[in-house]
Chain A
Amino acid sequence: MLLNQFLFLAAVLFCIGVYGVLARRNAVLVLASIELMLNAVNINLVAFGAYRHNIAGQVFALFVITIAAAEVGVGLAIVVLIFRNRASIALDESDLMKG
């Protein structure tokens, strides 16, 4: 297997995630797109780990998974709080800080 096929797959997934973050207005779906991006990074880490016969790639992918779990927990708590205060999670309506 080529190393590049995994890297290309990860690049495409990452960019789909970027598109989702930029184009979605539902906060839950923006968090889901961030998960796509983090997963692409994990594929990269694991592919490099397999290529170099080094365990570090897998260990750091585990760290990224942990941080993704923490991020989703806090992110969804914030989304629920926004929904409770404003009855909407559309991100373009959360514009209190707009000048």
Chain B
Amino acid sequence: MVAQNVVFGILAAVMILSAWKVVTTKNVVRAVLYLVVVLAGAGAQYLLLAQEFIFVVQVIVYIGAIVVLFLFGTMLTRAPIGRDTDLDNDQKWLAALTALFLVGVMVAVLSDAFGNTHIKISGVQRTADVANSMFGPYLIPFEVVSVLLLAALVGAIAIARRD
């Protein structure tokens, strides 16, 4: 249990630092690459919770596909690659205040609700259970999500194509 907590601490520190760099760095490409670190850290947290399948999906879908989409978006909008620019608007302090207030409220509520609740991990989650659950009780949400993904795909092509 101690080793898990140490790993959690290291991962959490790296994730929070990288997330902070995502929202503060003055270089678009660097921000996207810091996002990769946060996403990989989240994947490692899933592994720490012994949920393997979602870790694999996180690596394939987020780090493999979504980050590439972001880099394409950066490239197509001709972001000043390698050059530092002003990427923040003038309501920075108000935004920081809002975020601090929100984190204060959340931490207060969570420590009130789950003050001393422990997670007991009993073996690794089997992928077959995920499949049984997804094609069993959650079949209709699964189908709805597939249709949504198809609609988003068609919509993205229809929006972005030149005619």
Contacts and interface: CB of A to CB of B under 8 A. Distances in A.
Contacts of A92: 89
A65 B156 contact: no
A50 B119 contact: yes
B96 A23 contact: yes
Interface string B15-57: 1100110110000100110010011001001101111011001
Contact of A8 (B57, B102, B110, B119): B110
A28 B72 CA distance: 10
Given A18-B98, A53-B122, A69-B65, A47 B23 contact: no
A4 B117 contact: yes
A22 B98 contact: yes
A76 B72 contact: yes
Contact of A79 (B31, B77, B88, B121): B77
Interface string B85-121: 0011101101110111011001100110011111101
Interface residues of B, number: 85
Interface of B: 1, 4-5, 8, 12, 15-16, 19-20, 22-23, 28, 31-32, 35, 38-39, 42, 45-46, 48-51, 53-54, 57-58, 61-62, 65-66, 69-70, 72-74, 76-79, 87-89, 91-92, 94-96, 98-100, 102-103, 106-107, 110-111, 114-119, 121-122, 125, 129-130, 133-134, 138, 141-142, 145, 148-149, 151-153, 155-157, 159-160
